[in-house]
Amino acid sequence: MAMTSLRVRRQRLQLWALVLTVVAVALPAIATSRAQGAATGCTVTYTTNEWSGGFTAQIRVTNLGAALNGWRLEWAYGGDQQVTSAWNTQVTQSGSAVTAVNAAHNAALAAGGSVDFGLQGTWRTTDPAPTAFALNGAPCGGTTTPTPTPTPTPTATAPAECAGAGATICSDFEDQTGTVPSGTWQTTAPDCQGTGKVSVDTSVAYSGTRSLRVDGGAGYCNHVFAASTRDLSSVGPVVYVRMRVRHTTALPLNHVTFVSMPDASQGGKALRVGGQNGALQWNRESDDATLPEQSPAGVALSTPLATGRWLCLRYQIDTTTQSMRTWVDDQEIAGLHVDGVPTQNVDGQWLARSTPPRPTGLRLGWESYGTGDDTLWFDDVALGSSPIGC
């Protein structure tokens, strides 16, 4: 009995030794397999819209691994960026390290599926895009696109000039001979007038030696414009507009307008480009609808306007259907896009009216409805039935 018991114990010890050896050999292989799988587990695109001191980023994560029920994306900034708000995710930041966690409605991420979210932030000295991401702790093997080449459509046909495009309005204000707008531009205050004024400026210009200067005053009903004398009723079916604009002051929290287009579909009331909550917006005078909606997420999908430099503002308006697109410096603004399909936080108010706009005129200037003043300039203004580029 003693000999049998000893033999059994020896066999058991030998068996455990064999098991431990197999485990010791297998563990490095398992760890290596996991690391290799993590390297190709996802791809991330990181698309920024930057201005002096601030930025927004649209982020798309594509899951190349197994389906996930709950996701967490991590990265580190190489500059001094600070995230201030986000949408479709919950973001926390500690130093340069940032973590974005799914919201309740987008926790499920299928194999091969993608999720989109965005954020807004500030920076002081540098704003480089992150180059490495990890999804649920596994490094992403895909590449990032921090500064993609804009591909707005339709392709512009006249990069610098507009006469060759057959534009109805093509003005760099070089034909103005005095300080008061004249000829094809006339000073107007369509609703009411305040302290603002428009003039032809020979000290600041984008091209040539002249531009249109607007000294926009604050206060309710402080309106002043230079209006084109061109009738735009037959331009279309898509109206394309391009202009250079230079602001001295950032867009305020309160509503202001700097481009106004009389709209036949609103009985002559204006289709307006301006700002609210510090970001670029469209506004419809007849019902005060805004594009985007003035929620934090909606505002974040638009963009502030840089000051102290010339910007290229382009937009197109389809007069046959509810379709509008807007670009700043050839970067399309997601929150200023209407395509007839409802987009959360963007076009709910806008699509409440089914009749598409029908602009009949163009006015450049300043409308304040409370606080908010600015000195701004316009140059190289073009409008026609064909695309006109920056």
Whether pLDDT at 163 is above 70: no
- Please give the pLDDT value at position 372: 85
Peptide linkage before 387 cis (omega within 30 of 0) = no
- For residue 154, whether the previous peptide bond is cis, meaning omega lies within 30 degrees of 0, is yes
Task: For residue 230, report the phi and psi dihedrals to the nearest 5 degrees.
Answer: -75, 140
CA distances 141 to 97, 134, 145, 378, Å, are: 19, 9, 13, 46
Beta bridge partner(s), residue 375: 215
| The two structure tokens encoding residue 160 | 């610098």
DSSP 133-198: EEETTEEP-S---SSPPP--SSPPS-SS-SGGGT-SEEE-STT--SSS--TTEEEE-SS-B-S-EE
Average pLDDT, the chain: 83
Residue with the larger pLDDT of the pair 318 and 54: 318
Task: Indicate the pairing of strand 289-291 with strand 222-228.
Answer: unpaired
DSSP string for residues in 200-222: EESS--SSTT-EEEEEEPPSTTE
Q: What is the pTM of this model?
A: 0.61
Tens-digit pLDDT profile for residues 196-228? 899 999 999 999 999 999 999 888 878 899 999
pLDDT single digits (tens) 75-86: 999 999 999 877
Cβ-proximal residues to 110 (8 Å cutoff; 6+ apart), any chain = 63, 67
Give the pLDDT band (50/70/90) at residue 14. low
- Mean pLDDT of all residues in 284-313: 96
Tell me what pLDDT residue 190 has: 80
